[in-house]
Chains A and B, each alone.
Chain A
Amino acid sequence: EAGVAQSPRYKIIEKRQSVAFWCNPISGHATLYWYQQILGQGPKLLIQFQNNGVVDDSQLPKDRFSAERLKGVDSTLKIQPAKLEDSAVYLCASSDSLSTKKTDTQYFGPGTRLTVL
């Protein structure tokens, strides 16, 4: 079974530029998560999708971040415009439950390391 795919693996941009990350979850997984992991910290949930609907986006900085999962499969996370403090690893994860439960195990992709100069 293929794991969670993410691209690109690395991205370097200048502040105020735009950037987009792509994630393809494990086949059949209904729930998809985007996390931001700043160096030395644990992952922080940005947004959680169930199929193509948003379950939670309370920690997504909506003035600059956006995410979509139009067909309920792969997803794109965009930052526009980027700030220096957006430098982090962006992790995508998926789980196979149709409704998010406390037992849901997440499977993570390799992440995209973003550097904003």
Chain B
Amino acid sequence: AQKITQTQPGMFVQEKEAVTLDCTYDTSDQSYGLFWYKQPSSGEMIFLIYQGSYDEQNATEGRYSLNFQKARKSANLVISASQLGDSAMYFCAMREALTSGGSYIPTFGRGTSLIVHP
């Protein structure tokens, strides 16, 4: 079973509008971390935002916010006031503990391609 599901292969948004990128996850752990990364066409993965499973507040970083709904196991990324430079692939990722040793290993989703139109 997929641990991270991103159901939107592609999204289009008008410049200056907000957009939500969906992410659902599957884990039996109580303690885990959720991340969003941006991958422009240059290929480098850029960290955007982090949410811990015990964090009560939704994470925010500038124009990025994470809509965390723990009971639904969803961690959607909201980008406000989209810019042309936001056009890229966006990946949701989760770190959960290895059952054996307590180290946390990361798993990524398949990504969503965002295109921002002028």
Contact = CB atoms under 8 A, between A and B. Distances in A.
Contacts of B115: none
A2 to B, nearest CB: 14
Nearest to A111: B43
Contacts of A111: 43-44
Given A42-B111, A102-B31, A102-B33, A109 B105 contact: no
Contacts of B37: 108
A110 B39 CA distance: 10
Contacts of A93: 45
B30 to A, nearest CB: 11
User: For the side of the interface on B, what is the size category?
Assistant: 20 to 34
A111 B45 CA distance: 9
Contacts of B93: 42
Interface string A96-115: 00011111111111110100
Nearest to B46: A108
B109 to A, nearest CB: 5
A108 B104 CA distance: 17
Contacts of B33: 101-104
Contacts of A91: 45
Given A50-B103, A102-B52, A103-B33, A44 B108 contact: yes
Given A45-B105, A109-B44, 19 more contacts: A33-B106, A42-B91, A42-B93, A42-B111, A43-B91, A48-B103, A48-B105, A50-B103, A55-B101, A56-B98, A99-B103, A101-B33, A102-B96, A103-B50, A104-B33, A105-B50, A108-B37, A108-B44, A113-B43
Interface of B: 4, 31-33, 35, 37, 42-47, 50, 52-53, 91, 93, 95-98, 101, 103-111
